[in-house]
Amino acid sequence: MIASLVRAVSSCVALAALSIASIAFAGDVSFGQSQLCGLQTARPDSNAAVQVKTLQGRNGPIGYARFGHGPPLLLITGYRATLGEWNAYFLGELAKHHEVIVFDNRGIGRSTPVAGHYGPDYGMRDMAADAADVLAGLKLARADVIGWSMGGMIAQQLALDAPGHVESLTLIATAPPGPEAVPLTPAVQQVLSSSGADAFPKIMSALFPADAVADASKCFIGDMFAPRGYKGRPVPDAVAQQQNNAMTQWFANTPAADAMRRSPVRTLIIAGANDDILADTNARHLEQMIPRATLDVVAHAGHALMFQYPIELARHIDAFVAK
């Protein structure tokens, strides 16, 4: 949500140990002190060999990066976000045990056709098809899939349309389809769509709990994944509007909600207890909806959990995937 808006700075806070509760996958968990700001641990973009490439999807080019070793993990990012808006330390921790694949959603970053647009209308199903094209283009039959925010909606649609390609599903700070969801408020939507000099502090205040905003504002950009030669382009208004439309349709998609109630995919749902963008009520609806779902609500966490707790969140997901 931020890369196209600002470029900024850095500072530091310590690493917390993985709590016993975080391995239990039951109810509320705590990851301890926020880990915002330039951790002294591996980040994949420090390796010059990690670069963004493109593959050809059914509807145009798709920009992606892959790194690490082990079972594949496909990460799907959120509204107006490029692949650069994953926390680099979160990705580095995941890459210790997995081949990590991140990519730009349709119309974002390197996933932009020469003509500059993908046609008049597309929704979650189309963006899920793009995710499936990434797997096919990299010749991966199956992958564990992680979706954050709007990316969690795309991930759910991918699990519905191609369950044979989804080994497990991890849904971070997202919402179910259908009328039981609690959508973004118009005020929040306006903040996330904002641009200009005052956009960055507004977005930081939406993404993080109040007492984490100062550190986040110092360190968010410096902790973003920044592979050599990759620059996130400004998100066209038409693409942002198309993503808005896709989410509006998602919150009215009763057939998808019915289908999720029959999903065979093992699912971990992770929510922030202080998420002001997509309330943790959404996570509780998801837990009730998906048959093989487990919910963890993270104490003192906002919408951008992977920036607050990059190491602990990655380890928590890795423990789930490995079960």
Per-residue pLDDT tens digits of the chain, which is 323 residues long: 554 443 333 333 232 333 333 334 447 899 998 998 888 888 999 999 999 999 999 889 999 999 999 999 999 999 999 999 999 999 999 999 999 999 999 999 999 876 666 666 899 999 999 999 999 999 999 999 999 999 999 999 999 999 999 999 999 999 999 999 999 999 999 999 888 888 999 999 999 999 999 999 999 999 999 999 998 778 888 899 999 999 999 999 999 999 999 999 999 999 999 999 999 999 999 999 999 999 999 999 999 999 999 999 999 999 999 98
pLDDT given for residue 20 in this prediction: 31
pLDDT given for residue 12 in this prediction: 31
Residue type, 146: I
Tell me the C-alpha distance between 277 and 203, whole Å: 10
pLDDT given for residue 22 in this prediction: 36
Tell me the C-alpha distance between 207 and 191, whole Å: 10
CA 280 to chain centre: 16
pLDDT given for residue 6 in this prediction: 38
Tell me the C-alpha distance between 158 and 226, whole Å: 27
Tell me the C-alpha distance between 235 and 109, whole Å: 8
Q: Specify whether domain 20-322 bears CATH 3.40.50.1820.
A: yes
Instruction: Tally DSSP H helices, then E strands, for the chain.
Output: 12, 9
Tell me the C-alpha distance between 157 and 146, whole Å: 12
Tell me the C-alpha distance between 7 and 221, whole Å: 6
Q: State pTM to two decimals.
A: 0.91
Name the CA dihedral angle for 134, 137, 140, 144, rounded to a multiple of 10 degrees: 0
234: DSSP letter = P
What are the boundaries of each domain within the chain? 20-322
Tell me the C-alpha distance between 131 and 122, whole Å: 14
Closest residue by Cα to residue 245 from 158, 138, 127: 127
Tell me the C-alpha distance between 85 and 5, whole Å: 12
Tell me the C-alpha distance between 101 and 97, whole Å: 13
Three-class SS state of 271: strand
